[in-house]
Amino acid sequence: MMKPRLRRWRRSLGARLTGLFLLFAFAVVVTFVGGTQSALRSGWQGYARPLVADYVDRLAAEIGTPPDPERARALSERLPLRIRIDGPSVHWSSDPRRDARDDERRGRPHGSASDWRPTRVLADGHRLTFGLASLAHDDDAPDERQRLIGWATLAILLALTALAYHGVRRLLRPLDDIRAGALRYGAGDFSQPIRPRRNDELGDLAAQINRMADGLHGMLDAKRQLLLAISHELRSPLTRARLNAELVEDSAARDALLHDLGEMRDLITDLLESERLAAGHAALHTEAVDVNALVRELLDGTFKGRAITTTLDASLPPLALDAARIRLLLRNLLDNALRHGGTAATAPHIGTARDGDELLVTVRDHGPGVSETELAHLTEAFYRTDGARNRSTGGVGLGLHLSSLIALAHGGRLTLRSAQPGLEAELALPISSP
């Protein structure tokens, strides 16, 4: 579960841009802090350090030698200073609890010589240590405040990172629309153009893709209209040729001619039907259909006397289908199974079953089958395989293509897979009330 998410994050342009912005911000902060420290260091060495040293000397002189704790106390009360005295005879601190805690953190026993700066060593051996006093009276308040500031800073940084990512995703949101539009156009659905979200470069890109899709749609429509016109125009001379052929005396040449004319008629019919189905569900005339009844009707009619075994699920409900087109689909699948069943002794099989919210119809033959590389092309128009499925077996390569279009128009799918031996076609239709 985590690996797909990590892959999505690695491929996410928004995540990459956010990471790039964070890296840029880190580099800016490091450069700024480094430059500021260098500038302050040079200013400290040149100006502030001599002034602080002179001020500390004056404080040490005011405390006196030997050091007077009362004077030190007066200074710590008058100024925001912490003063500590360590020496042979005097041990005093203006904030002993804070000093003890600091000594414990540094691993030194209380009362040892401090390594704080600035310090002054007097002539009698006493060491004076000066520091800034805490503004809070509670000893734990400064550390608690520092932790609170640290967590608040981290929370603000995380919130800013989330806002940056949200902003990047908002900027790149048109890419999701462009991707969805490209998938629709690739599937042949030109009914819904890409909606430009903003008037920027991505908006211009969406508009250009819409113009390209309009051009492609126009070319496809022109091709479809030309194909329909040619098919319609061929029907009349084909009908006359068939009538004239039937007037010829019986002979092998006459039978061959009628067979070829019938094949041309079926080709034109399938072409017209495939172009009508390009409109998808709008081309269907649905009604309550019993799929099992359609199968039995085909077996008792078109395929009467043919060896076909069945396994029909009697519990299947009627579905809202186009009966004529589903009948054509089933006929094509059964005809394909009988034509390419080879010399196998096992007869083709058709079965129906329910799988969740889908009705499944499977048709299997036990012939030589096809290779895995050819499976993906079997539903393409006019595609014909080599070997066992050659032209001598009949057909022009439109049956499976037309069956796939009928399945898609019903919101289903047609899947072809190797059955070893043979080929299995599976039709999946969504179960909905008619």
List pLDDT tens digits, range 99-120. 777 766 666 554 444 444 688 8
Does 284-430 carry CATH code 3.30.565.10? Answer: yes
| Gap between the Cα atoms of 206 and 190, Å rounded | 14
- Which one, of 277, 341, 273, 275, lies nearest residue 303 by Cα? 341
Q: Write down the pLDDT at residue 94.
A: 87
Whether the link from the prior residue into 118 is cis, omega within 30° of 0, is yes
This prediction has a pTM of 0.51
pLDDT score for 162: 82
What's the pLDDT score for residue 394?
53
3-class SS string, 264-294:
HHHHHHHHHHHHHHHHHHHHCCCEEECHHHH
**What's residue 114's pLDDT?**
44
Spatial distance between the Cα atoms of 62 and 318, rounded to a whole number of angstroms: 106
Smallest CA-to-CA distance from 84 within 108, 110, 51, 106 is with 110
pLDDT of residue 9: 57
Distance of alpha carbon 253 from alpha carbon 102, whole angstroms: 114
The 3 state secondary structure assigned to the chain is CHHHHHHHHHHCHHHHHHHHHHHHHHHHHHHHHHHHHHHHHHHHHHHHHHHHHHHHHHHHHHHCCCCCHHHHHHHHHHCCEEEEEECCCCEEECCHHHHHHHHHHCCCCCCCCCCCCCEEECCCCCEEEEEECCCCCCCHHHHHHHHHHHHHHHHHHHHHHHHHHHHHHHHHHHHHHHHHHHHHHHCCCCCCCCCCCCCCHHHHHHHHHHHHHHHHHHHHHHHHHHHHHHHHHHHHHHHHHHHHHHCCCCCHHHHHHHHHHHHHHHHHHHHHHHHHHHHHHHHCCCEEECHHHHHHHHHHCCCCCCCCEEECCCCCCCEEECHHHHHHHHHHHHHHHHHCCCCCCCCCEEEEEEECCEEEEEEECCCCCCCHHHHCCCCCCCCCCCCCCCHHHCCCCCHHHHHHHHHHHCCCEEEEEECCCCEEEEEEEECCCC
Count of beta carbons in the 10 Å neighbourhood of residue 316: 17
Domain with CATH 1.10.287.130 in the chain: 139-282
Note the pLDDT of residue 107: 61
What pLDDT is attached to residue 11?
60
Backbone angles phi, psi at 25, to 5 degrees: -65, -40
What pLDDT sits at residue 1? 46
Give the pLDDT confidence score for residue 281 in this predicted structure.
Answer: 53
Mean pLDDT by 10 residues, the chain (434 residues): 56 70 80 76 71 87 89 88 88 83 62 60 89 61 70 83 80 84 80 81 85 85 74 77 80 81 76 68 78 91 87 90 88 87 76 91 87 81 59 63 86 88 90 65
The CA angle 228-234-235, to the nearest 5 degrees, is: 95
Q: How far does Cα 80 stand from its chain's mean position?
A: 60
Q: Which residue intervals of the chain bear CATH 3.30.565.10?
A: 284-430
pLDDT of res. 427: 92
CA 258 to chain centre: 55
Q: In this structure, which CATH number among 2.30.42.10, 3.40.47.10, 3.90.950.10, 1.10.287.130 belongs to the domain 139-282?
A: 1.10.287.130
**Of the candidates 54, 102, 106, 61, the residue with the CA atom closest to the CA atom of residue 82:** 102
The reported pLDDT for the residue numbered 109 is 52
